[in-house]
Structure 1
Amino acid sequence: MPLRRLSALLGTAVLVLTPALSGCSQGAAGPPGSAPDSPDSSPTGPDSAQQARRHLSEMSLEEKIGQLMVLLPQGTTAEENADLVSTYNPGGLIYFPENLTGPEQIARLSNGLQEAAADSGAGVPLFLGIDQEQGTVARLPVGTHFPDAMAVGATRDTAHAEALAGATAAELTALGVNLDYAPVADVNTDPDNPVIGIRSFGSDPGLVSKMATAEAAAFSEGGVVPVVKHFPGHGDTDVDSHTGLPVIDKPREEWEKEDLPPFRAAVEADVDAIMTAHVLIPALDDSGEPSTLSPDVIGGILRDELGYDGIVTTDALNMEGVRQTHSDGEVAVRAVLAGADQLLMPPDPQAAFDALRTAVREGRISTERLDRSVLRILTAKVERGLFDAEPVGAASAAEAVGTRKHRAAARDLAEDAATLLRNEDGVLPLSEGATVSVTGSGAEEIGAGLEELGYTVTADPAAADAAVVGTTGAEQHSRVAAAEATGTPVVVVAQGSPYGIAGLGSAEGYLATYSAVGASQAAAARVLAGEVSPSGKLPVGIPGTGLGFGDGLSY
């Protein structure tokens, strides 16, 4: 339990001796994860705890189990989900693009779902969540589109992290969304990582810690529950846990140095929720189970050693990384036994519900253990004011998203993130009034920006004074080679991972924006033209290039 919360509850001084993480946990009685089972230790103040306990006392076994589940809604209306809510009384729902069409519809959906929850079971309000990290992972079809986390890392300025999260929180709350599965606290140390990459703030644990906690705090201040992810770290993988189980074979000491710091910082910041990763790190648990199902990782390290007593949610349970050795129902049971409180997107909700109920009835999951998780969830809902929340204004929702202020914040972030990594023969900034060919990813947006600044834009590199080629991945390097073959000086605008520079040939210029959102493409045009001097610094090192963390050129 975080010390500030424990001290506030007990009203006494608390002295804790923090053990070295590579050793055994001191002061935690019983097996890993046993301490949090006590329903008498509350993570909050007396008033909130009392209200949460009152709700808990009025709930049936089935209603308690429902609070552990975060399910996928169907369709775009609350009416389509009435049976889902009344059947399971879920703790939350998670939105995806297929559920969302516009501001008014999203707000009405949120209002209707909360009304259905209030009329069902124990009347517990829903966590309505979404993956709105910004950049690559952004589910909303409306609102402000900020660059990816790696762009934030490139600025080195936590004010940008706070602006991104603050604006996102304002837009989410206007739509009735009260939880965001963000920020990403993974330290991206594998250049070939297929699932994290630019979703990470960078490869430096200190930088990631600083940015992740800044975003989490701004989300929280904006009325949105942040979910820091993916513990114990998904940044050093070359397998996507959506399709397989990544194995991270590194010593525990190396994990503590590289991957742990952002999560330790999140615990010390008392974040509301932390998400687990479907990864296997033998140095932390040699059982062969992914971390999501590991009592050693969740109960032992996160709960006992780090002292975290907030909500632990699993990553999506429909991912292959967690479904390889157990049935879907057994996965749900094992995740709870490992220390998780909420089960995100069980692929078969009925199987998960039935397995959990059987496990409690047979004593495999104790009533105390179940109550502890439900109490965490209820306490967070009380503290966030969900029980007293009024419906959001559906008619006015559109006015709150994509505001001029929010778009300006996205623009400023994108411009400060732009990182110039190569500028041979002074190819940049582009000569005033030059003819520029623009092809590849973002060509239309970058070209339009250059035209507004007085450049003649063509699609033919051979007819241009300079050739700009937009890329989002190594598969587009053939476009770069084709432009180089014309003999025209080439400038690459990398809108994905900056690691791609290692596979390029003789392109004279290389500008990294770390994102393919419109704000980043507009910023690229302004940097190419010299309207903005590049000031971003690499948030990662790039093997084989001589480019290291912190590198970056300017005009």
Structure 2
Amino acid sequence: MRRSRWFTAAVAVTLAAALGGCAAGAAAPRPSGSVDDPAGARAASASPSPTPTATATATPDPVAAYADARLANMTLRQKVASLFILHGPGTDGAALRAFADRYGLGGLILMGDNIPATPAALAAQTAAANASEPSLPLLIGTDEEGGDVTRLPWDGLPGASELRGQPPRATQDVFARRAALLKQAGVNVNFGTVADVTADPSSFIYDRVLGTDPGSAAARVAASVTGERGSVLSTIKHFPGHGETEADSHRTVPTAAVDRARWAAQDAPPFRAGVRAGAELVMFGHLVYGGVDARPASLSPAWHRILADELGFHGVTVTDDMRMLQDTGLPEYRDAGANAVQALAAGNTMILMVQGAGTDPGAMIDAVVAAVGQGRIPASTIDADARKVLQLRRSLAPQG
């Protein structure tokens, strides 16, 4: 997601639960039921009964217990709404919270118009946005890649075009410092690690990649995730990889005749490295690899299964900015509500969108609720997704 330097358009999640002060336990895999996979949810394995000589001593996971209790008291519409990360205008933290509360959102994405002049002002703004319910913070995210995509004017740290010429340790150090800036400002999610690979200078993504070959990109992607650990939640993007085409997904749906073998060798390694390093989120791109699926990856059940089954990621997945699909002008993506239904049915945990003029968040939420009522999305899928989001948000709450 990119719109300009200062205003650019717009994972297994292992939430380590620690008694007395850490984050949540690992989230359960997302059920696979969808419009295209009506056979649906994977059966959960039954827990073995304890032997007469064994006693159950497992300590309950407080984050999971909180999420389950909260989920039990939510309506379907509240569950659906919690799966949206949207953009509210301006720098008034109370107004941003009112916007999130009006629709029951799970998070907010900060764009250029949301960034005040100083770190202290942004910290006050995000604190106000979360003041009404500190026990369940909103996911407050932004794209702080550095270089071409920089939201914080005070982030003068190197971007990818500089880091890829330096050892991976430099990437880890820079992303640790960048994550500290975000944490101090109250931003808890960075959509900031580009895991795409290309050596083509004419590609729109070239200046943003951390490596021009699979090996170098993988090393730096893992380093960036390691650097952010403990400060912000890391997101690797744009799965399955934007590097196979020169086209810009802000203007069209890039299409490449890439098959599974080519993807596994060229594009998968950085994403696999990011998953193994512990990235909490994976962002899906609006791009087509024709040898795998004719649909954009963001709307593809096949690509979501590949991420889970081949890369072992069962955490929170999020779309790239859904407005980008509408901005292509293609008639099949004109309806924001229909796009949201397809994205959640395909396997995304959350919908990310910087709304354009005339976009009604309530109508998008209503479209998903209707799809559940029609059986197009299993209610169990919404429950599983909402539980993951609750666990992720609860893991960010102040301890004690």
Which bin holds the TM-score, normalised by the shorter protein? 0.7 to 0.9
In the alignment, which of 313, 327, 340 is matched to residue 348 of structure 2?
340
Structure 1 segment 109-128 matched on structure 2, within 5 A: 109-116=125-132, 118=133, 124-128=136-140
Aligned to 1:495: none
Larger RCO (CA under 8 A, 6+ residues apart)? 2
Q: Is the contact between residue 37 and residue 372 of structure 1 (CA under 8 Å) also seen in structure 2?
A: no
Q: Is the contact between residue 251 and residue 328 of structure 2 (CA under 8 Å) also seen in structure 1?
A: no
The SS at the match of 2:235 is strand
Query: What do you get for the CA RMSD once the two structures are aligned?
Result: 2.9
In the alignment, which of 149, 158, 170 is matched to residue 147 of structure 1?
158
CA gap of 1:368–1:50, structure 2 versus 1, over 3 A, is: same
In the alignment, which of 272, 281, 291 is matched to residue 289 of structure 2?
281
- 1:62 deviates by 2.0
Q: Which amino acid counterpart does residue 160 of structure 2 have in structure 1?
A: A
Show structure 2 runs of 5+ residues with no match.
1-10, 19-31, 47-58
Show structure 1 runs of 5+ residues with no match.
9-27, 391-555
Q: Is the contact between residue 32 and residue 296 of structure 1 (CA under 8 Å) also seen in structure 2?
A: no
Aligned to 1:308: 313
Distance 2:33 2:110 in 1: 40
- 1:147 deviates by 1.8
Q: Is the contact between residue 130 and residue 137 of structure 2 (CA under 8 Å) also seen in structure 1?
A: yes
The question of 1:213 aligning with 2:213 is answered: no
Aligned to 1:350: 362
Q: TM-score, normalised by structure 1?
A: 0.59
Distance 2:381 2:139 in 1: 21
CA gap of 1:341–1:37, structure 2 versus 1, over 3 A, is: farther
In the alignment, which of 185, 189, 197 is matched to residue 187 of structure 1?
197
- 1:245 deviates by 0.8
The SS at the match of 1:181 is strand
Range with bigger deviation, 76-85 or 317-326:
317-326
Aligned to 2:207: 198
Aligned to 1:373: 385
Distance 1:125 1:46 in 2: 19
CA gap of 1:235–1:312, structure 2 versus 1, over 3 A, is: same
- 1:104 deviates by 2.3
Q: Which amino acid counterpart does residue 154 of structure 1 have in structure 2?
A: G
Aligned to 1:173: 183
1:471-496 superposed Cα distances (whole Å, 9 cap, x missing partner): xxxxxxxxxxxxxxxxxxxxxxxxxx
1:429-488 superposed Cα distances (whole Å, 9 cap, x missing partner): xxxxxxxxxxxxxxxxxxxxxxxxxxxxxxxxxxxxxxxxxxxxxxxxxxxxxxxxxxxx
Q: TM-score, normalised by structure 2?
A: 0.81
- 1:146 deviates by 1.5
Q: Which amino acid counterpart does residue 88 of structure 1 have in structure 2?
A: Y
Q: Percent identity?
A: 31
Aligned to 1:90: 105
In the alignment, which of 102, 105, 124 is matched to residue 108 of structure 1?
124
1:275-294 superposed Cα distances (whole Å, 9 cap, x missing partner): 00110111111xx3211001
Aligned residues: 355
Distance 1:112 1:33 in 2: 42
Distance 1:201 1:138 in 2: 15
Aligned to 2:278: 270
CA gap of 1:228–1:39, structure 2 versus 1, over 3 A, is: farther
CA gap of 1:318–1:37, structure 2 versus 1, over 3 A, is: farther
Aligned to 2:147: 135
CA gap of 1:39–1:341, structure 2 versus 1, over 3 A, is: farther
The SS at the match of 2:236 is strand
Moved over 4 A (4+): 1-6, 28-41
CA gap of 1:220–1:232, structure 2 versus 1, over 3 A, is: same
Structure 1 segment 212-231 matched on structure 2, within 5 A: 212-221=221-230, 223-231=231-239
Distance 1:134 1:5 in 2: 26
Q: Is the contact between residue 63 and residue 89 of structure 1 (CA under 8 Å) also seen in structure 2?
A: yes
1:210-235 superposed Cα distances (whole Å, 9 cap, x missing partner): 110111121123x2001100000001
Aligned to 1:476: none
Q: Is the contact between residue 93 and residue 129 of structure 2 (CA under 8 Å) also seen in structure 1?
A: yes
CA gap of 1:132–1:346, structure 2 versus 1, over 3 A, is: closer
